[in-house]
Structure 1
Amino acid sequence: MDRSIRGAGLGLDIVILSDTQSDKKQAAEHAAFRMLIAETAGADHIYYRHRENNRGRKAGNVEDFIVKSGGAYDYAVTLDADSLMSGEALAELIRRMDADPKLGLLQTLPRIIGARSFFGRAMQFAASFYGPVFTRGLERMQGATGPYWGHNAIIRVMAFAQSCGLPELSGKPPFGGHVLSHDYVEAALLARNGWKVLADSSITGSFEECPENVLSYAKRDRRWCQGNLQHMRLLFAPGLANWSRFVFVQGIFAYLASVFWAIFLVSTVSGAVLAPEPDYFPETFQLFPAFPSDRSREILALALGIIGLLILPKFGILANAAMTGRARGFGGADRVTASVVLEILLTSALAPIMLAYQTRAVCQVLLRHDGGWPANARGEGSLTLTEATRSSLWIVAAGMFALVATWKFAPDLLFWLLPVTLPMVAAPLLIYWTSHPSGLGYFTVPEDRDEPPIVAAFRDVHARWRSHIDAPSADDVLPTEASHVPG
């Protein structure tokens, strides 16, 4: 990134804000920082700061920088550890902020890179193929009350300092304590103070990585679930824009929907078991039988609603890509069609498994179990069948129980419940298989054929440094405030 920044003619500081608590990982960071300084010829614009007390987690880390050093800067671009942005993208963000003094935050749409597993490649394809279209729709709906995803975005430091001091909620976690999903709250606070918050999917040169398997995704999703449900406490905060409140509600129901789906399935089977026997002749001397309603119309409406909501938009994007020539970047019309169908099949198969994980997460939060802030691991590698089985055996048990109970008490519903119960029973195999490269050759994205220079440079640097950082010596220690940030 530093090379790309200089190549774009920018003179920017790079500030690495570490919250790492492990001594071993700190040593690895120190070794990497020394290599960074050596490779940039002792650059005096790159800083490293380690917080010994990680109060407030990520939001607290950023707040600490804003309070102590924010006065030195007009803007700051927030990045996750797996973020990557080109100098051209940063120049465009700065230009946009300079052009609009009321713009408080501008969010880019990061493209996913580096995916190798079947699960990761499917996520990468979905984000690259569907993501820009969905984001453009979001941009039009939200106007100037846009989203903040916590990274790959530029903020106006004065506006952020003025608006985004987060409270520590009363009570204990998961509903009290520090705000976990801080980014959406910070966007709402900026909008409350009259600052524009915009997203722009057309800005290129913004990248991130993604989880490589279902377990890593579910681990991250558990934190998001707790953070979103915590927003229940903020729904009626004074002065928020109506759209900000709607975003909170949407985030809350994104997880409660899994519980409602589970209740719907259970009540469907229970209704079939507990319903009284139909009485075809309820009236004395009734000549013709009265058949009870089979709810066919409602069932058909529900099925069409699900298809219309989840599947038709994807085929609409596919049709548009074929007509406009956009499909060529994804391997051509035939290959992208196969990729879309395969992605729909995969997400449909994994949906009951994610239903189980999300339902468990919601129940844990409602039962006041704090999930904390587990660190994200990128490039975590393939899972063994033992690891997949150990983490999903309870899903298998739930699927088997539902399958046997339906077969015994409501056999007429067995066929209709197979799309839910069979993936649950096969959860270990699905989790294991999707964590490995598929070798099918689908899920092509434009970056496969035309790798951006910033991504190619990253791969080169990462490959060269990795062997040196994997096993740092015990002497790899820097002061916790090495290379002080301007303040």
Structure 2
Amino acid sequence: MTRAFLTRSVALGAAAVLSLLGGYVFLGFASTGGISPLDVLRTALVVLSGFWLVWGGAAGIIGLFVRHRASSFDAQQLPRGLTAILVPIYNEDPLVTFARVAAMNRSLRTLGIQERFHIAILSDTTALEVAAMEAVWFQQLVAEPESAGRIFYRRREQNIGKKAGNIEDFVTSSGGAYDYMLILDADSLMEGATIGEMARRMDADPDLGLLQTLPRIINARSFFGRSMQFSSAYLSPAFSRGASVLQGNEGPYWGHNAIVRVSAFAANCGLPVLSGKPPYGGHILSHDYVEAALLARGGWKVHLDPSLGGSFEEGPENLVEYAKRDRRWCQGNLQHRRLMFAPGLRLWSRFIFLQGIMAYLASPLWLVLMGVSILAAMLPEPAAHPASEMFIDGVWSLAAGVALLLVLPKLLILIRGIFDGENRRFGGTLRAGSSVLMEIIFSTLLAPILLMLQSRAVMQVLLGLDGGWPATQRSENHLDMRDSFANSWWIMLIGAVTMLATLVFAPKIALWVAPAMLPAVFAPVLISASSRVAAGKKAPWFFLTASEQAPSPVIAEHRTIMAAWSTQGPLEPIIMVEARRVAEQVNA
């Protein structure tokens, strides 16, 4: 038996036992007057939702017992294989994106290993003005020393298949020239030392098909963005170490900041176009999980190594932008129900598909549980055995259990940080503890809003509405109250109506409903306030990260390049000339 199999068995067993125990306790509280159909339904929802809640926390608990391994290697050792670094872009800010490429290229040059790495910028940009700017900034990029003949740019006129199709096009046309490809996002940034080590690991293990790093979020400025940034840097490593043990040789792959063996990818990862129209049919949106499953089916190892540092990305700065991205993930994950029984897949890959589906179905299930519980409290009680008090005890016990499952891993990570010295990198235990506490409070307040956003996304997919692949707004974007209200008025309305109905028809459980519905009532305020950027240059007290205290060299290099390129003078005349040229090419 492998380590992954044993760990999975223990984790799955614990999730099953704890969720069944929770259902048994809840049924005992809720059915003192006899078991009704509503009691059976609520208990089933408790067990089903509780299982995935326990399972979600299992990775964090397991990760606490996995020793953090500092990755040591000779950064100047030249890899044997030739690697293509792929940077897919879609209507991004070219200055920022091409400056990232320049920073990574300089990092490779500093180590003297640049000759084993080519960089391909794969544009799917549809806006002609942005495409013109890409052409201009590409000329600036190839003017960097030792860039000519190593850095390439091509733009597709039709972005068929989105990012997956963009990469497939590269593999089909140019993949045969390379041993490996490092797949990035437009906002990805990686140290040259990390890139070199990933290629050397591919050299050392001929069975390794894909190696995934843990990207840390950087450059966040809003309260919402900094909360995500802190979570990715402080909390995510433990969860990722646990995921690495659970997944073993079968994942995960998150679609970027990962290196892939080209021959393995080309032979196994051709994605089907699903029959029918989107959202169920068409091109697969959450392609990364599918590609990991196909590599595992082909006998290739798919590894995650959280100890590989120097891997970064940027995140959304407000909840509305996060929800747009989450809507696409929801549609992509729900598509996986059509792939769960594809021939030859590993059992674990099928389970991962189910896990991804339940990550979104869990939200409407929790809403149904709340709705059914409110309905049960509204019904008249048998005179012989009033059950209100027992019912209230049951829902409070359920709430306490949920809170414990969500909070316990985070508190244990904080405690471990005291003993392994990790807290010092985040401003000390007091500051790290304050940040963890604030993250718990903030995520608790946002949970009902996210619950409704995800439930809406699920309903849209079930109703056959295609969410598409909207361009990501990565820059600072504060939302005023008008914009926040426009995006969340329906959440506020549902929260207010539910709270009012509970106060009128089931007042005894109003205190239980309030923590879920009051944040929904104030959704516009929370969304707007959390999108604000702190005034002043000094980092706020909460959510300080290690990369802010001591920025990685490639982060500092990117900022230096941005400052230099931004002061080169207006580019509008050049851009207009380039725009006309691009337009002529398209019309031709």
Query: Could you state the TM-score of these two structures normalised by the residue count of structure 1?
Result: 0.93
**1:405 is matched with which residue?**
501
1:451 aligns with 2:551: yes
**2:73 is matched with which residue?**
none
Q: How many correspondences in the alignment?
A: 470
Instruction: Say which SS state the counterpart of residue 39 (structure 1) adopts.
Output: coil
**2:377 is matched with which residue?**
272
C-alpha contact 2:392 2:508 (8 A) present in aligned 1? no
Of the structure 1 ranges 456-465 and 397-406, higher mean CA displacement relative to structure 2 is found in 456-465
Structure 1: stretches of 5+ with no match in the other structure: 281-289, 481-487
Q: Determine the C-alpha separation between the residues in 2 that align with 1:345 and 1:470.
A: 46
1:473 aligns with 2:567: no
Q: Determine the C-alpha separation between the residues in 2 that align with 1:326 and 1:380.
A: 29
1:478 Cα deviation after fit: 9.5
Query: 5 Å matches for 1:70-109?
Result: 70-109=175-214
Specify whether residues 469 and 164 from structure 1 end up closer, same or farther in structure 2 by C-alpha distance, changes over 3 A only: farther
1:384 aligns with 2:480: yes
CA-to-partner distance for each residue in 1:51-77, whole Å, 9 max, x for gaps?
Answer: 111111100000000010000000000
Paired residue for 1:340, among 409, 414, 436? 436
Paired residue for 1:322, among 408, 418, 442? 418
1:479 Cα deviation after fit: 7.6
Paired residue for 1:126, among 228, 231, 241? 231
Instruction: Say which SS state the counterpart of residue 52 (structure 1) adopts.
Output: coil
**1:183 is matched with which residue?**
288
Paired residue for 1:53, among 148, 158, 178? 158
Instruction: Say which SS state the counterpart of residue 76 (structure 1) adopts.
Output: strand
Paired residue for 1:5, among 108, 132, 135? 108
C-alpha contact 2:209 2:261 (8 A) present in aligned 1? yes
Q: Which has the higher contact order (CA 8 A, sep 6+)?
A: 1
One-letter amino acid of the counterpart of residue 374, structure 1: P
**1:422 is matched with which residue?**
518
Of the structure 1 ranges 463-472 and 140-149, higher mean CA displacement relative to structure 2 is found in 463-472
Paired residue for 1:214, among 286, 294, 319? 319
C-alpha contact 1:85 1:205 (8 A) present in aligned 2? yes
C-alpha contact 1:8 1:91 (8 A) present in aligned 2? no
Instruction: Say which SS state the counterpart of residue 578 (structure 2) adopts.
Output: coil
1:474 Cα deviation after fit: 1.1
Q: Determine the C-alpha separation between the residues in 2 that align with 1:396 and 1:470.
A: 45
Paired residue for 2:405, among 309, 327, 333? 309
Instruction: Say which SS state the counterpart of residue 143 (structure 2) adopts.
Output: helix
Q: Determine the C-alpha separation between the residues in 2 that align with 1:190 and 1:41.
A: 34
Q: Determine the C-alpha separation between the residues in 2 that align with 1:322 and 1:167.
A: 49
C-alpha contact 1:191 1:241 (8 A) present in aligned 2? yes
Specify whether residues 469 and 314 from structure 1 end up closer, same or farther in structure 2 by C-alpha distance, changes over 3 A only: farther
C-alpha contact 2:448 2:519 (8 A) present in aligned 1? yes
1:278 Cα deviation after fit: 2.2
1:365 aligns with 2:461: yes
Q: Determine the C-alpha separation between the residues in 2 that align with 1:23 and 1:387.
A: 28
Instruction: Say which SS state the counterpart of residue 122 (structure 2) adopts.
Output: strand
Instruction: Say which SS state the counterpart of residue 176 (structure 1) adopts.
Output: coil
Instruction: Say which SS state the counterpart of residue 575 (structure 2) adopts.
Output: coil
Q: Determine the C-alpha separation between the residues in 2 that align with 1:470 and 1:296.
A: 66
Q: Determine the C-alpha separation between the residues in 2 that align with 1:118 and 1:297.
A: 36
Instruction: Say which SS state the counterpart of residue 123 (structure 1) adopts.
Output: helix
Paired residue for 2:452, among 356, 377, 381? 356
Q: Percent identity?
A: 52
Q: Determine the C-alpha separation between the residues in 2 that align with 1:197 and 1:386.
A: 46
C-alpha contact 2:479 2:531 (8 A) present in aligned 1? yes
Q: Determine the C-alpha separation between the residues in 2 that align with 1:256 and 1:469.
A: 49
Q: Determine the C-alpha separation between the residues in 1 that align with 2:146 and 2:197.
A: 27
Specify whether residues 377 and 219 from structure 1 end up closer, same or farther in structure 2 by C-alpha distance, changes over 3 A only: same
**1:484 is matched with which residue?**
none
C-alpha contact 1:146 1:199 (8 A) present in aligned 2? yes
Q: Determine the C-alpha separation between the residues in 2 that align with 1:29 and 1:327.
A: 41
Q: Determine the C-alpha separation between the residues in 2 that align with 1:115 and 1:478.
A: 36
Q: Determine the C-alpha separation between the residues in 2 that align with 1:305 and 1:292.
A: 21
Q: Determine the C-alpha separation between the residues in 1 that align with 2:291 and 2:402.
A: 33
One-letter amino acid of the counterpart of residue 276, structure 1: P
C-alpha contact 1:30 1:477 (8 A) present in aligned 2? no
C-alpha contact 1:19 1:61 (8 A) present in aligned 2? yes
Greater share of residues in helix: 2
Instruction: Say which SS state the counterpart of residue 53 (structure 1) adopts.
Output: coil
C-alpha contact 1:135 1:201 (8 A) present in aligned 2? yes
1:385 Cα deviation after fit: 1.6
1:463 Cα deviation after fit: 3.1
Query: Could you state the TM-score of these two structures normalised by the residue count of structure 2?
Result: 0.78
Structure 2: stretches of 5+ with no match in the other structure: 1-103, 583-588
Query: 5 Å matches for 1:147-158?
Result: 147-158=252-263
One-letter amino acid of the counterpart of residue 345, structure 1: I
Q: Determine the C-alpha separation between the residues in 2 that align with 1:388 and 1:463.
A: 32
Q: Determine the C-alpha separation between the residues in 1 that align with 2:397 and 2:168.
A: 49
One-letter amino acid of the counterpart of residue 188, structure 1: A
Specify whether residues 325 and 78 from structure 1 end up closer, same or farther in structure 2 by C-alpha distance, changes over 3 A only: same
